Structure formats: C-alpha cells, structure tokens
Structure 1
C-alpha cells in the first residue's frame, strides 16, 4: 500500500511542469508523463486510490477527457493530475513543505499539520499546533495552550493582508525540532513576519512592500527581507512571549515599552541589529514604571487586603455565632424532666401532660436542628458566591495565590469548627430525642393503669395467701382441742379464723382509683 511520502516522491519523479498547487483538500500539477511505466503507475493509482486520497483524476491537457491505457501519447502532450485528499477535522494534510505558505491561514485553526516530505526528526510544536510527518499512523495527541491577548488590539493593520495575526499562538515556538527541515524553515519565515507585526505599532504597504512602523520616539519604519528573517526570529519570539504570554494583565504597557525600544534600535543601519537588547531595556523600563506607581499601588493593595481581612473576620464571627446558636434549645429539652420533682408526679393528669410535653419537645428539637442546619448551609453558600465575585475582581490586581492565602484558610478553619460543633450538637440532640421518647412512653396514662392493676393483683394474691395460712392454723388448733381434755366445748369457744378482708380491701381500693381516673 502506497504511503503519503511515496506518493509525494511519485509526484517529484513525474517532473511537474510549472508550480504545484496544493490546498488543504487537493493537490494539482501538470506533467508530460512521457515514460510508459510512469503513465501506467498513475493509471493504476487512478483506478485504486490509496486510503488517504478520495480520488485521483488524470485529464488530457485542458480538456475534460481522461487518460486511457490505449491512447497514443504525442511528444507535446500535457496531463493535469489532481489528487483529492481525505480531509480530517483539526488536521491540515500537506504533501510538500512548499505548499505551507498558501495554507498558513488554515493552519491557524487546526491542532495538527502533517507533511509527507517532512523527516521524522523534524517534529516541532507551537503554542497552538503540532507539526509532524504524515504517516499511516494516527497523529500524536496535542493540547494547545489557552488563548492569549489579541495583537490587533495593540497593532494596527492597514495592509488588508491579515499581516497582524488575530491569534499569536500559531507563531510562538513551543518545542524546537531536532533537525532542521524545509517545513520548519517555511514556517519560521512566516512566523517572523507575524511576530514582528504584532510588536509594531502599525503595519502598512508602501511601494509594494510591507512596512513595519514603530512610533517611538524616534519613529522608525522597516521592511523585512527573507534573508534577515532567520536572524530576527529568536529576538521577536522572546519579545512576543514577554508581551503576550507573560503579560496577560498588562500586555498594553509591555507592548508600548517594547515597541519604543525597537524604534530606538531601528536607527542602526543594519537590519540584523534591529531589536538587539530591546527586550532587556523594555524590562528595565517596565520595572521603573512599576516602581513609579508603587505608592498608589501599595495604597490600593493595602485597602484591598484590609477589605479581604474584614470580610474574612465577618465570616469567622458569623461561624462562631452559628456555633453558639446550636445550643439555644438544649434547655427546652430538660423542661419535661422537671415535672418529676412535683409531689403529684404520680397522678394520671400529670403523667398525661408530661408525656405530651416530652413528645412535643422531641419534635421541636428535630425541627429546630434541621432548620438551623438548612439556614446555616444556605448562608455559607451565599457567602461563598459573594467571595467568588469579589475574588475574581481582586485577581485583576492581586496575585490569585495571595488572595487565596488571605481569605481561604481562616474561612475554612471557621467552617471546619462549625461542622465539628454541629456534629457534636447533633449527637447530643439525638440522645435527648431518644430520652424524651422513652420518658413519654414510660409516663403515658395506660402504663400507669397497668401498673396499678399489677399492684392490686399482687396485693390480692398476698392477702389470699395469708388467709389460707391462718385457716390452716385454726384447723390445726381445732383438732388439738378435740383431742385435749375439755373436748368440744373448749374448741367451740375458740376464736373463728379471720376472713379475707385485707384482700377485699385492696381490690376495692384499686377499683376506686380506676373510677376516679
């Protein structure tokens, strides 16, 4: 099976007449195809295209007729060959590095550029795209960096040629290739112009040339030739990284300072010397700028830090208030137990009231704890949303790590203390609810009646047992009197055994208590 690099070599061997027109979706060129073996190879490919091509067409001259096997070939015949590529999302496929210049704008919107004539060791990456050899293997996964500030905000483009890029990432080198290649040279030639345009104050066309103007002072205008582009590549790359990649919040100030330094170095005669030492001078000027405004900045930062601390203290104090509020209902739970100290705690009326109060107190504790939990959770959520809003604003001035260090630890500690106390209070509330429930069931009226019935039954059983014992004792005495001297007369005078009056009296008392209830 033919590979993309083999097909690119076949195109070279066909001796293209004129330029090779390569686009993201197809490649077209003209060739004589004078050798029969070469024509046969192209005809075979046209009948069975490789997997990476959707079709190959061979036209005779400028006509619509297709090349056939039995057609005679005249010495002056030319054939138009078109290879349609099988396009993939987020990938730009090229057979030749020379075709990159015509597809540079397309490259800005893709994550992979695969080139058939690119060596394996020539792989390199930018902040936006990975350049690699076009093989049968799937492309290596690549994640671009986040979008950087738009250079068109700081550099004016009057060329109508998109000289100032909208996205600077495709032109910032991420990892350099192991070996130089034609693809890297083609990309670098365009990248130097794009980066220089992003550092200039304005770009225009004068006398057919693209002019890069720096306002200065002193004002400076330069034109960049292909021979000087490799010399300036490292210089413009470092400057663009400092302005756009490192200066996300103050790219405008950095761009102004660096453009002034480029204008100062532009007074030198040699184009290769332009921008020499400009980045170091711009960094020094930026440092002086920061120090000049340090008094106002420090004052503003002090106010911001004070606001953060005050807000944090409010949240911490609120958390302490919530911790204290969790205990406010504990005294209510102890009220039913106070009923036990009254002298009439054993009465039925008091038992019914105590049981009802205990159930009510248990329900009140559950409802109060649930409501406090819900209200406190909502309050913490609202405070978090409010902190996120003002922290996002402070991050524009303060470092995000500094803002987090000032606000997050105290708030987290306060919330942690609140949650610990909430767990302990919840456990204590659970114990109180269980005790109140047991207290209510033990003092309900039905339980008191059953207790009285049990006491009455025990008294009856005790009285009956005592009467039986006395009856047996009297019977024994009667027998003894009959056998003794004096006979029955004496026994008749003996006192009769007592009746079961005590048992009857206990049962009567229990009946009266139930009637009173």
Structure 2
C-alpha cells in the first residue's frame, strides 16, 4: 500500500493523474495507458473490495484488460476505481495526499485517521493520525472542549466557511520527527488556513477574505495557503488562548483581533498578517490582564453592593417579623382586655365581637403584606443573579445571599403561623364570651357534628 501511495502522489504532483479519494473509494482518473498499467502493477487486488478500470466510453473492465490482447480497443483517458473494504465507523484510511487534503476539508467525526504517507504518529485534540501499519490505539477524550468560533466570528458567507472545532486543528502531541513528514505538512497547511479565520472579527464570503479589528477595521485576503511550521505555531497558540475559556472568549477574541488590526495596513499581505498574529500574542495577554484588573475592581464594588443589599434585606425581613410579633402581642392584649370588659362591665357583645374582627383583620393584613414583600425580594434576587452577579459562582452566591435571606424568611414564616394561630385562638375565646349562650351552643353542636362526621 505504501508503494501505491508513493506512486499516486508522484503522479498527482506531476499532473499525470487526478485523484478523488473518500472513506469508501479511491478514483484515479485522466490516466494515460502507460500510467494505468503502472498503477495496475502495484495494486494488490486482494486488499480491495472491488477494482475496475473505466475508459472514455464508460466501459467497465477488469484490471487484467490492461495487459490483455484487446488492450488496443481501450479509449483513453482511463480511470482506475478502487473500492475500499468496509472499515469501522470512527476510522478512516487514506492512501494519497490528495485524499488527506479532501478529507480535512470535510467535517468528519472520525477519531482515527490512517495515512499511508505518514511516518510518525501525531494527535490533535479530536483525532489520532497514525501511519498505515501502526497499531490503532483508541484516542482518549480531551479534558475540555474548545468554544465554537462560529458563535464569535461574524460570517457574511456560508457559516461552514468557519471551522466548528478549533481542537481539530491543534496538535496535542506528536512523535519525534512527525513534523518532517509530508502528510503532517499537508495537515499543518490546512490547519493554519482553518485557524486564521477564527482570529478575524469578520469573514467576508470566503475564508480567505478576512477583516480584523472592531473600531479600526482592516481587510486582507489570504490567497497563498502554504504555511511553515512557525506560521502554524503562531496561529495555533493564539487560537488556543482565545477559545479555551468559554467565559472569556469574547473579550480575548476582541483584544487579539484589535491588536492584529493595529499592526496591519489595508490589504496587508499574508506574511504581514502572520507576523502580526505572532507579535499580537503578548500584547493581547497584557491587555487581557488589564481587563481582568478592571473586572476585579468592578467585581469587588459589586460584591460590596451585594453585601449591603443582603444586609438591608435581612434587616427588612427582621423588621417585618418584629412588626408581626408586635401585632400579635397587641391582639392578644386587646383580646384579654375585651374578655375582662365583658365579664366586669357587661359590655355589648356585638361591640366586643366587632373589635375582635378588626384585630384579626389587622394581624392578617400584616402577615400577608410581610409574605408578599418576601416573595418580591426572592424574585429580585433572581434578577440580580442573572444580570448583575453572573461572575459569582452558584455555590458562593447561595452561601452569601440565598441562605442568609432564607433563614430570615423562615423566621418570619414561623412567626406568621404562630401569630395567626394565637390570634385565631384568642378570637374564638373572646367570641365565646361575647356571643349569646344559644349562639355558642349552636356553634359547639356544629363543631361536634362536624367532628363525628369526619
């Protein structure tokens, strides 16, 4: 298979063949008769599910026809079509450099890629690239996922012109000498071309038309896609720094893009853009550190305001609890006074009953208003959490805000139920003294019947 790979890559380089390779088949077309014979001599028919030859008249022939007596009847140019054996779903096997280039342009989710022209293994964050005869070791899952650049970079063309996965184009590990192979160089060029648009603020139409910067916008066109290893390292480092943290991706991307634009002029060349990318890393990091200082300063001020708000809320709930306790104590005192007035001075029963109804209504209103204010406070805390205090971890926010406020609210709720119970008991006791005896007897009988029925 290695011999076939070398032959096909040489033919493609010398424009003696056009290669179309996918996971399922390999098609070599535009072949002269002698080139088709060369390919046929190195093909191991047993290694392929199906091998056939096509001529310009769309005649399907076996490989033996290239060496048979009727070979003069073939009409050129010829095509050789090789159907690959059915492999595993997450493994792709590529014979040619053209096939590797074509596969890299797709959004395949294969985890292992066997490449005939690869000499040493290397691994990106999503895929293991291994030589043809190497042992297939299942890749381990990456410790985290990078952010999707399509959500950060504006695209005025097809959204798929921007890569969805930065990790696919970042080297996680490489064997000694892997960078020297032609297959790695091909992957590196495609990876650099895929990562460059992720650094731009806008992509116009195609991935080679880039706009850097937000306030000062610089348009460039990257037409040459042959990149060195140093070019790749500069682009890869900056792209990894931007997209590794989902909370800071927008800030980092804006700072990096603005710094690149600051160093460029309109219509800058490819080399100028790559040099600006390499130099902008340190400047963007310093700018981000300054932003973090400002954010920390604002965060401290916001936390100070949050502490004041929590303290104010707890004080307000404590005041409500105190008001409710005072109302209950007042109601209890009034109830005792009304009973004494009924017994000693024989006051009007209807007047005593009416005063007690007013007392119960007052205590109930105080309890209801307090409960409503607590509900409003809980909704307000939810709004603060979602809009003003996202930078505070959920566990810390619960410990600093929700738990203290909930403890104060529980104290009010206990007082509410205890107070309402005491006031209702007082109401029934006073009503027993205030209402006529026959009314009390009827109420007692009604309570007794209801108890027996239940």
Q: Work out whether the TM-score is over 0.5.
A: yes
Distance apart, 1:307 and its partner CA: 11
Conserved 8 A contact 1:265-1:276: no
Distance apart, 1:229 and its partner CA: 5.9
Conserved 8 A contact 1:257-1:286: yes
Distance apart, 1:306 and its partner CA: 10
Measured in 1, the distance between the counterparts of 2:59 and 2:101 equals 30
1:64-75 alignment, distance < 5 Å: 64-67=59-62, 68=64, 70-74=68-72
Measured in 1, the distance between the counterparts of 2:141 and 2:83 equals 28
Distance apart, 1:93 and its partner CA: 1.4
Do the aligned partners of residues 111 and 307 (structure 1) sit closer, same or farther apart at CA in structure 2, a change above 3 Å counting?
A: farther
Do the aligned partners of residues 92 and 403 (structure 1) sit closer, same or farther apart at CA in structure 2, a change above 3 Å counting?
A: farther
State yes or no: 1:258 paired with 2:252.
Answer: no
Measured in 1, the distance between the counterparts of 2:214 and 2:80 equals 53
Do the aligned partners of residues 277 and 306 (structure 1) sit closer, same or farther apart at CA in structure 2, a change above 3 Å counting?
A: farther
Conserved 8 A contact 2:127-2:139: no
Deviation by residue 1:55-90 (Cα, 9 ceiling, x = unmatched): 222234442331345443239755321111233211
Distance apart, 1:158 and its partner CA: 2.3
Query: For 1:162, what is the secondary structure of its paired residue?
Result: helix
Q: CA RMSD in A?
A: 4.0
The answer for the alignment partner of 2:295 in structure 1 is 293
Measured in 1, the distance between the counterparts of 2:36 and 2:254 equals 64
Do the aligned partners of residues 303 and 136 (structure 1) sit closer, same or farther apart at CA in structure 2, a change above 3 Å counting?
A: same
The answer for the alignment partner of 2:437 in structure 1 is none
Distance apart, 1:174 and its partner CA: 1.2
Conserved 8 A contact 2:146-2:165: yes
Measured in 2, the distance between the counterparts of 1:201 and 1:257 equals 10
Do the aligned partners of residues 28 and 9 (structure 1) sit closer, same or farther apart at CA in structure 2, a change above 3 Å counting?
A: same
The answer for the alignment partner of 2:183 in structure 1 is 183
Query: For 2:106, what is the secondary structure of its paired residue?
Result: helix
State yes or no: 1:80 paired with 2:79.
Answer: yes
Conserved 8 A contact 2:243-2:249: yes
The answer for the alignment partner of 2:49 in structure 1 is 54
The answer for the alignment partner of 2:277 in structure 1 is 275
Distance apart, 1:305 and its partner CA: 9.0
TM-score by structure 1 length?
0.52
Measured in 2, the distance between the counterparts of 1:173 and 1:306 equals 49
Distance apart, 1:294 and its partner CA: 2.7
Query: For 1:132, what is the secondary structure of its paired residue?
Result: strand
Measured in 2, the distance between the counterparts of 1:210 and 1:137 equals 37
1:81-96 alignment, distance < 5 Å: 81-85=80-84, 86-96=86-96
TM-score by structure 2 length?
0.59
Measured in 2, the distance between the counterparts of 1:155 and 1:306 equals 40
Aligned residues: 314
Measured in 1, the distance between the counterparts of 2:186 and 2:201 equals 25
Query: For 2:28, what is the secondary structure of its paired residue?
Result: strand
Distance apart, 1:133 and its partner CA: 0.8
The answer for the alignment partner of 1:397 in structure 2 is 391
The answer for the alignment partner of 2:235 in structure 1 is 236
Measured in 1, the distance between the counterparts of 2:205 and 2:10 equals 40
Do the aligned partners of residues 153 and 104 (structure 1) sit closer, same or farther apart at CA in structure 2, a change above 3 Å counting?
A: same
Deviation by residue 1:73-115 (Cα, 9 ceiling, x = unmatched): 2397553211112332112211012322211243542211110
The answer for the alignment partner of 2:109 in structure 1 is 109
Query: For 1:297, what is the secondary structure of its paired residue?
Result: helix
Distance apart, 1:136 and its partner CA: 6.8
Do the aligned partners of residues 398 and 18 (structure 1) sit closer, same or farther apart at CA in structure 2, a change above 3 Å counting?
A: same
Measured in 2, the distance between the counterparts of 1:60 and 1:192 equals 39
Query: For 1:274, what is the secondary structure of its paired residue?
Result: helix
